[in-house]
Amino acid sequence: MIAVVVSGLALLAACSGSSSDSGAPARPHPTVPKTTAHPTTPLPRGTGSAGPSGPPRVVTLPRSIDATGHQDVQKQLQAFIANVPNGSTIEFRKDGKYRLERTLYIRHKQELTFEGNGATVFATKRGARDRSQIRVRRGRRLVFRDLTIRGVHPNGGIEKDAYVKKLETQHGFRFEGVNGAELDHVRVTDVYGDFVYIGRDKRKHASRDVWVHDSTFARNGRQGIGITDAQDVVIERNHFDDMRRATVDLEPNGHSWTVSNVFILDNTVGRGRLMFIASHGQGPVDDVVISGNVLHGHDLSIDALPPEGERRSNWVVTDNVSDTVVRHRPMRFFSIDGLVVKGNTQRVEGGDPGVVLTDDCGAVVSGNRFGGAGVVRHGAQCAAPLVFPAVPSIPGRGRQIPSPTTTPHRSPVTKHPGTTRPHSTQPRPSTSKGSNGGRLVLAIVALVLAGAAIAWLVRRRRSLS
């Protein structure tokens, strides 16, 4: 369910700040109609992706690769996959058990479909820090369907001991620099790291066109889904539960890393220790749509904080529902140009606001149900347009049709351009990966001023003598 902005909403984003929101809007606002969508059209089970020279070849894992879980088959399975022609479908044995004590690497493959048939890939030993169960490097249009990944974390979930720093990069699926990947009806449980990690490869190629849908994720030690360098990602209709940290983390690891055009839609979220959506990091995070998610026992907490001196753009947060009651501020947005927070439900008690805006331009906050909590704005009001992000055209997914009154776009993978917004006097929260650029500039300015003062004193002393 994607809420699309109509022409009046775009005008409000360009001309207004936030509106009061104490359970109902202070004055009428334009409604946000739903989009018309083609139904989801995943590839038929067992067909795989069309190969370059005709129908896909279907290959079943041989009986020589143990499917009972008694033997470690990592080397055999990796060698077999490496020799399967591109454009094929690889079928696992029905309900098979494949023990992998080391990472299964899938490198530079194209048009492959992995039909799990209810099979489980699992480990029994803790392994090395970077031991992900399945690690995909580069490649194009790779599909994983009906497959279970099970790690070895005995205490995955929301308790303090669920996070183990020395094992935090043991992910279920790890995608690096892929150009098209799909997780369809997969299950990931009991991992020390993220259920799914999406980022760049060693040659600095970002991932793109990643679709995670209709899958189940439970009990981990870090993020639900971590995205560090990717564009055109859709996360929809999944079920998340027992997460140690954020459900979805949008966090570029460096200034050249970018996260853009991410859609988080219609997911069901259970218990989690930290935020629903976290977005700090050192690079741009633009064009984000968070819509139609239902949270049970988890607050609708969203925190978006760009690096010092930088801005982000085009965030849409609509029609999300949490059944919890919180006594703290659930949402906070810093330095965003073009922001809509509309139609969300999160009851807040104790006097804190439902949304805090700091140096946000063109922000529209209306029609939310915060149980009497309002909106707090820091910084001068300023205008900025909202351009609704374009829904990624991922093969097999179908296409979402935005309203003709909005202008979809794809942002280039570059840093958000500099602006001349009023500087806020509000202190920014510290982050573990914050930028040092601001401190360096202040230090240089201080040195210049000190030098000028010394020179003036010397000249004055000479004139007096």
Between 260 and 446, residue with greater pLDDT: 260
Q: Is the pLDDT of residue 326 over 70?
A: yes
pLDDT value at residue 429? 74
pLDDT value at residue 2? 45
The secondary structure element, H or E, covering residue 450 is: helix 437-464
Q: Is the pLDDT of residue 121 over 60?
A: yes
Strands 248-250 and 225-227: parallel
pLDDT value at residue 398? 72
pLDDT value at residue 380? 85
Residue 2 lies in a domain: no
Sign of CA dihedral 96, 99, 103, 104: negative
Whether residues 101 and 238 fall in one domain = yes
Structure confidence by residue, pLDDT tens digits, 375-427 = 999 998 899 999 999 999 998 887 453 433 334 444 443 444 444 455 555 66
Beta bridge pairs of residue 217: 188, 240
| Phi, psi of 342, rounded to the nearest 5 degrees | -145, 135
Structure confidence by residue, pLDDT tens digits, 232-267 = 999 999 999 999 999 999 999 999 999 999 999 999
Residue 131 lies in a domain: yes
Structure confidence by residue, pLDDT tens digits, 209-227 = 999 999 999 999 999 999 9
pLDDT band (50, 70, 90) for residue 66: very high
Rounded average pLDDT over 303-319: 97
Rounded Cα–Cα distance for residues 172 and 136 (Å): 11
Q: Any idea what DSSP says for residue 169?
A: T
pLDDT band (50, 70, 90) for residue 460: low
Rounded average pLDDT over 432-452: 49
Structure confidence by residue, pLDDT tens digits, 81-113 = 999 999 999 999 999 999 999 999 999 999 999
Whether residues 427 and 447 fall in one domain = no
pLDDT value at residue 320? 98
Residue 208 lies in a domain: yes
Whether residues 400 and 454 fall in one domain = no
Rounded Cα–Cα distance for residues 363 and 353 (Å): 16
pLDDT band (50, 70, 90) for residue 36: very low
Q: Is the pLDDT of residue 44 over 80?
A: no
Rounded average pLDDT over 8-36: 37
Residue 197 lies in a domain: yes
| Phi, psi of 394, rounded to the nearest 5 degrees | -90, 130
Whether residues 459 and 418 fall in one domain = no
Mean pLDDT across the chain, nearest whole number? 83
pLDDT band (50, 70, 90) for residue 455: low
With contact defined as beta carbons under 8 Å apart, do 229 and 260 qualify?
no
pLDDT value at residue 413? 39
pLDDT value at residue 259? 98
Residue 448 lies in a domain: yes
Whether residues 331 and 240 fall in one domain = yes
Whether residues 37 and 145 fall in one domain = yes
Q: Is 460 exposed, middle or buried (0-12, 13-18, 19+ CB in 10 A)?
A: exposed
Whether residues 447 and 405 fall in one domain = no
Residue 193 lies in a domain: yes
> Which amino acid is located at 367 in the chain?
G
Range of the domain at 459: 441-465
Query: pTM, whole model, 2 decimals?
Result: 0.81
Whether residues 463 and 354 fall in one domain = no
Q: pLDDT over 90 for what percent of the chain?
A: 72
Structure confidence by residue, pLDDT tens digits, 136-170 = 999 999 999 999 999 999 999 999 999 999 999 99
Rounded average pLDDT over 178-183: 98
Whether residues 357 and 464 fall in one domain = no
pLDDT value at residue 207? 98
Whether residues 207 and 299 fall in one domain = yes
pLDDT value at residue 54? 56
Strands (E), 7-139: 36-37, 57-60, 68-72, 88-91, 97-99, 104-107, 110-122, 134-137
Residue 209 lies in a domain: yes
Number of domains in the chain: 2
Whether residues 423 and 455 fall in one domain = no
With contact defined as beta carbons under 8 Å apart, do 60 and 93 qualify?
yes
Whether residues 217 and 238 fall in one domain = yes
> What is the CATH classification number for the domain harbouring 126?
2.160.20
